[in-house]
Amino acid sequence: MNAITEHVSLSSELDLSNYWMPFTANKQFKAAPRLLKGAKGMYYTTMDDRKIIDGCAGLWCVNAGHGREEIIDAVHNQMMEMDYAPSFQMGHPIAFEAASKVAAVMPTGLDKIFFANSGSEAVDTALKIALAYHRARGEGQRTRLIGRERGYSGVGFGGISVGGIPANRKAFSASLIPGVDHLPHTFNLEHAAYSKGQPAWGGHLAEELERIVALHDASNIAAVIVEPVAGSTGVLIPPQGYLQKLREICTKHGILLIFDEVITGFGRVGAATASEYFGVTPDLITMAKAINNAAIPMSAVAASQKIHDTVINSGAANAIELFHGYTYSAHPAAAAACIATQDIYQREGLFSRAAQMAPKFEAAIHKLRGEPFVKDIRNLGLMGAVELEARDGAPGARAYDAFMKCYEKGVMVRFTGDILAFSPPLIVNDAQIEEIFATVKAALHEIK
Ligand SMILES: Cc1ncc(COP(=O)(O)O)c(C=O)c1O
């Protein structure tokens, strides 16, 4: 049974009608479902027992590879010991231990960790902390937020407001939070096509922040939020000097800089964080996905001591300082998975392994230059994208076809618009990297 016929037998066994799938073309999917039933190491297993190489670490999240027994055992043991404990006005030891583990790999000074359950929640948490911080220091009029075109910051109202993905905003346009501006995105085919690592062109785009600040006055602006490497929009690598310039301008005007590291956190670019990789320290970092290898939903915000202390010291001794949190913040099972995952990252040196494999990944992905429909290739660490010419009148269709061909041939890739994105688990080896891109090449020769 192949991927095309897989749905025929499945649809007779499985009722697909109740599950409303997220970010999915539901009608298209249910007409020809792609169902996975197992995962181990670098591979998924499909319902018809085919092995599929995971070219995207799930959704940029399974950085240590699938089915890690240390994580499974940690979760199992924790659930046997204590399944749940309230996170408001009560604590449990492994929440604190997980926070220490995460703090240990954050840039120096960003060691106050607030837990949430998804990247979207982490983003909204960071935005709220930024507002609470300014208010606590007597500048409560600093409420404006600045995001970036093509930025993806999740799907909460805060996230889609600062985010810059038109389709994610369109239906909710009237309900976006007010007082938000957007920096221009940094994608430019004319000046930066086929860049390896950081494009030399485009650092000046950070100056646009000065224009927005001049328009509103810095005294009204709370924070700037950007992904250091934009992931979901199709892997846009920051131009040389760009992030440094944003940092400089934010510092000059007392504006907080938030790096959304939901994708880049925990080794993706070959360092613990993109902040560390680029040598630019923001005031707040959002993270999720690989924080616990995606075993149990979990996310977090790392805040600087200054932000934390300002908020914490703003209230009376027995008052709740920040009216924010989630029933499942630092859920015991998620925290256990987090601790076990961070131990794996350290023990196996996976962040430096990603740095080591990055040149091989770069060489392999750039070999696709000149193949049918390819119009740009970009990469950093173990993340990369191949942008295709869109088919006339059918944007996204060509990348979908390429994605389907790859899936039939045993490789899972991501596609967004007409961009194919790659982010394998950090355990990927040379042969698997070659296989991923050889499969993409073959797929490109078979589509129209
Ligand atoms: C940079 C960034 N921020 C936030 C999110 C939202 O994360 P979640 O889907 O866990 O809400 C994502 C998800 O891909 C992301 O890439």
3-state SS, residue 299: strand
Q: What is the pLDDT of residue 13?
A: 82
For the chain, helix, strand, coil in percent to 5 are 40, 15, 40
Instruction: Determine the distance separating the centroid of ligand 1 and the alpha carbon of 9, expressed in angstroms.
Output: 34
Per-residue pLDDT of the chain (448 residues; tens, 9 = 90+): 444 445 445 546 899 999 999 999 999 999 999 999 999 999 999 999 999 999 999 999 999 999 999 999 999 999 999 999 999 999 999 999 999 999 999 999 999 999 999 999 999 999 999 999 999 999 999 999 999 999 999 999 999 999 999 999 999 999 999 999 999 999 999 999 999 999 999 999 999 999 999 999 999 999 999 999 999 999 999 999 999 999 999 999 999 999 999 999 999 999 999 999 999 999 999 999 999 999 999 999 999 999 999 999 998 899 999 999 999 999 999 999 999 999 999 999 999 999 999 999 999 999 999 999 999 999 999 999 999 999 999 999 999 999 999 999 999 999 999 999 999 999 999 999 999 999 999 999 999 9
Backbone φ/ψ region at 374: left (φ over 0), alpha (ψ -120 to 50), beta = beta
d(CA 354, CA 229): 16
Instruction: Determine the distance separating the centroid of ligand 1 and the alpha carbon of 425, expressed in angstroms.
Output: 17
Residue to mutate, 23, 60, 120, 124, ligand 1, most ligand atoms under 8 Å from C-beta: 120
DSSP per-residue string spanning 229-284: SB-TTT-BPPPTTHHHHHHHHHHHHT-EEEEE-TTTTTTTTSSS-HHHHHT---SE
Residue to mutate, 115, 226, 263, 328, ligand 1, most ligand atoms under 8 Å from C-beta: 263
Ligand 1 atom with the smallest distance to the CA of 297 is 10
- Torsions phi, psi of 285, nearest 5? -125, 130
Instruction: Determine the distance separating the centroid of ligand 1 and the alpha carbon of 5, expressed in angstroms.
Output: 33
Q: What is the pLDDT of residue 96?
A: 98
Ligand 1 atom with the smallest distance to the CA of 260 is 1
Ligand 1 atom with the smallest distance to the CA of 261 is 1
Check residue 183 and report its DSSP letter.
E
Going by DSSP bridges, is the β-strand pair 299-303/284-287 parallel, antiparallel, or unpaired? antiparallel
Instruction: Determine the distance separating the centroid of ligand 1 and the alpha carbon of 313, expressed in angstroms.
Output: 31
- Residues lining ligand 1, judged by CB closer than 6 Å? 118-120, 123, 152-154, 227, 231-232, 260, 262-263, 288
Instruction: Kindly report the pTM of this predicted structure.
Output: 0.97
Report the side by side order of strands in the sheet with 43-46.
Answer: 36-40, 43-46, 51-54, 411-412
Alpha carbon of 354 to those of 222, 293, 400, 415, 421: distances in Å?
34, 15, 28, 22, 17
Q: What is the pLDDT of residue 9?
A: 53
